[in-house]
A and B are shown apart, each in its own frame.
Chain A
Amino acid sequence: MNKIYLSYNNIVSSLGFNSPTVVENIRKGVSGITLIEDENLFPTPFYASVINSNLIKEAFESLGSNDDYTRLEQIMIISLDKTLKESGVKLTDRVGLILSTTKGNIDTLDPKHPMPPERAYLGTLGHIVKNYFGFTTEPIVLSNACVSGVLAVSIAKRFIAQGTFDQVFIIASDVVSNFILSGFNSFQAMSSLPCKPYCKQRSGINIGEVAVSVLVSKDHDNLVPEAVEVLGEASCNDANHISGPSRTGEGLYRSIQSAFKEAKVGPQDMDYISAHGTATTFNDEMEAIALNRLGLDTVPLNSLKGYFGHTLGGSGLLETIIGMHSLYHSTLYSSLGFTELGVSQPINVITETTTKNLDYFLKTASGFGGCNTAAVFKKVQS
């Protein structure tokens, strides 16, 4: 089977509008999470990672489009435009488009939104992005809760392996909305302070928004310096509960085991784990249990939620892209918000940004519906 790579990439976020700027901010320990006071989003002030609307407007206007696009569509287009142009890939019937999102344009269901509620159909969103860029293939929208961003990489790899496409562009995004904030708040899952993944003092999640894009390709000749090979990936359900993770971490355990098997690697090969770490009591505990069952307790690990909050359908791909840059810069980035271990099993949370040669990393994610995904990546350039 051909090797499959992640190559050109972009991040549009509260920490910048391109991957190098965002990664540099992470290195400096800057968080995109701030206190937001906006009654249209939530009745009381809340911590979230929200992209500056003026910067979105400026970046979108520079693309010169006269049509009306929602906030989500604009950030998706800004991100994918950069990745697409830099890659130089021509959009033929061999090039696929995958959108990863949990809720898409869900804010258009609000009667106060200027766009009609029909805009909330995810297939419509897929076609808006397709038509903007002129993709010739039917868009694939993946909506699989909080694992969508990593699962999209698996799915792109599988469609390439199957011969459906030679190259796939993934665009992954969700926006901060009244819909999402009210829902997570009804679960009492939101933290009243900036989130603290794996920490003793953690008290829940912050919501965030990003648009991130990547080129998945089997073309070894069109790779960026930070490119990685997708060595193995798998997704396993907990078969346990729809809104809470398995107490034994069963689905995550099986996902990692299965991804390792395909990648022909073991726990001893992993240099870094980019974990999910939402900072809820149950999620972080479940991850610690699953990682211990696999003998991964000593591998340096971080959650990037302290920088971006939980960016839902964007998070898995966002964190994968940061992982690519982590390998490229030979740097382990600090798990922001963590001070004291607050899970029952030992894990090696990165407390200070440090330099270290890195070749392999594991990305994991878990979400509602009992879904879990794991993927193993290897640095291409030594």
Chain B
Amino acid sequence: MNLLEFARGPAFNFALIVFVFGVVWRLAGLFLQWRRRDLSKPRQHNLIVAGTRAMLMRSLPPHELEKHIVFQHMSGYAWHIAWFISLLFFAPHLPFFKQFLGFAWPALPNWISLGAGAVALALLLTLVIRRATNPVLKQISTWDDYISVVLTILPLATGFLAYGRLLPIRYETLLALHLLSICALLVWYPFGKLMHLFLTFPSRFQAGALLGRKGVEA
């Protein structure tokens, strides 16, 4: 078994099992853990509105800090969107999704999906360097932050290396490294901050609903 066979077979299989198990475990653990019944009188009855409002409003930068965090905020949105464009609309990726879903969707022209990938890669590298050098960000960063961002960068970087044959290494080795970087991402996903993909909006909704019940506009 060569490296590519290992990456496409046992490694990916293991990563997928860990990913599914971990994500379902964490989601079930959180969603089945009902809060205690609150016997106080609710200040607001329509908690769905309160939750939805918080979910949307907290997706915008707080007005007071807007000027100071505009780069952080906008670059965060930009790389997320660009990353998902390159993941979901780069033509060679579509057979990957089709094997699970049984269907695929039209790809974007390569110059768009590759351009999006380049934007995501550049922004992610800038942000991780900034995190490591900015005194405030450095203070509030943990290993989880660095591991999560590096594991997000690696599939992009190895993808470009494989597609463009940017290193004097055989293509199958580069493709295997690309797949292994995805495996690493999947394995880490449920246990680190990357889990925010599944938890960001539910937690914002819940915070908004709870605060709304107490009459606080979140």
The answer to whether A and B belong to the same complex is no
Footprint of A on B, CB under 8 Å? none
Footprint of B on A, CB under 8 Å? none
